[in-house]
A and B are shown apart, each in its own frame.
Chain A
Amino acid sequence: MSLSATTPVTGAPARPFLRHLERAGLYLALSVAAFLSVFPFLWMLVSATNSSGEIIRGKLGLGDQFWINLDNFMTQVDLPLVMWNSAKVAVLSTVLTIAVSSLAGYGFEMFRSKMRERLYSLVLLTLMVPFAALMIPLFMMIGQAGLINTHIAILLPSIASAFIIFYFRQATKAFPTELRDAARVDGLKEWQIFLFIYVPVMRSTYAAAFVIVFMTSWNNYLWPLIVLQSNETKTITLVVSALASAYYPDFGVVMIGTILATLPTLIVFFVMQRQFVAGMLGSVK
Chain B
Amino acid sequence: MADVRLQAVRKTFGVLDVIKGVDLDIRAGEFVVFVGPSGCGKSTLLRMIAGLEDISEGTLTIGGQTMNDVDPSQRGIAMVFQSYALYPHMTVRENMGFALRFAGMDKQEIARRVQSAARILELEPLLERKPKALSGGQRQRVAIGRAIVRNPKVFLFDEPLSNLDAELRVHMRVEIARLHKELKTTVIYVTHDQVEAMTLADKIVVLRAGQVEQVGAPLDLYDDPANLFVAGFIGAPRINVFTGQVTARLPGAAEVRLDGFAERRLVIPLTGEAPAEGTEIRLGIRPEHLTEGGAESLPIEIDMFEHLGGETFAYGRSRSGETIIVSTRNGRHLKAGQVLAAGFDASKALLFDAAGLRIR
Min CB gap B234→A, angstroms:
28
Instruction: Return chain A residues, CB-CB under 8 Å to B15.
Output: none
**Does A61 have its Cβ within 8 Å of any Cβ on chain B?**
no
B88 at the interface (CB under 8 A from A): yes
- A188 and B85 CA atoms in complex are apart in Å by 15
Q: How many Å from the CB of A28 to the closest CB on chain B?
A: 41
Contact A181–B103 (Cβ < 8 Å) = no
- Please tell me if B305 contacts chain A, counting CB pairs below 8 Å: no
Closest to A203 in B: B89
Task: Tell me how far the C-beta of A227 lies from the nearest C-beta in chain B, rounded to whole angstroms.
Answer: 40
- B99 partner residues in chain A, CB cutoff 8 A: 185-187
Per a CB cutoff under 8 Å, which of A178, A179, A201, A284 touches B82? A178
A-side interface residues, number (CB < 8 Å): 16
User: Is A200 touching B52 in the complex (CB atoms < 8 A)?
Assistant: no
When A179-B85, A197-B87 are in contact, do A185 and B103 touch as well, CB less than 8 Å?
A: no
Q: Does B200 contact A (CB under 8 A)?
A: no
Nearest CB on A from B185, distance (A): 15
CB distance from A169 to the nearest CB of B (A): 20
Kindly state the separation between the CA atoms of A3 and B57 in the bound complex, as whole angstroms.
Answer: 58
CA–CA, A19 and B293, complex, Å: 72
Asked if A186 meets B81 with Cβ closer than 8 Å, knowing A181-B52, A200-B89, the reply is: no
Is A40 located at the chain interface by the 8 A CB criterion? no
Q: Which of B71, B79, B85 meets A176, CB within 8 Å?
A: B85
Given A176-B83, A178-B83, residue A185 in contact with residue B89 (CB < 8 A): no
> Is A179's CB under 8 angstroms from B52's CB?
no
- Nearest-CB distance from B156 to chain A (Å)? 9
Residue interface mask A16-38, B partner, CB < 8 A = 1: 00000000000000000000000
Quick one: which of A182, A184, A201 has the most chain B CB within 10 A?
A: A182
CB <8 Å contact, B89 and A181: no
- Other A-B contacts than A181-B79, A183-B87, A284-B88, 6 sampled, CB-CB below 8 A, are A181-B81, A182-B86, A184-B73, A200-B89, A201-B87, A201-B89
CB<8 Å pairs between A and B, sample of 12: A178-B83, A181-B52, A182-B79, A182-B85, A183-B87, A185-B52, A185-B73, A185-B78, A186-B73, A187-B99, A187-B103, A197-B87
Q: Which residues of B contact A (CB under 8 A)?
A: 47, 50-52, 71-74, 77-79, 81-83, 85-89, 98-99, 102-103
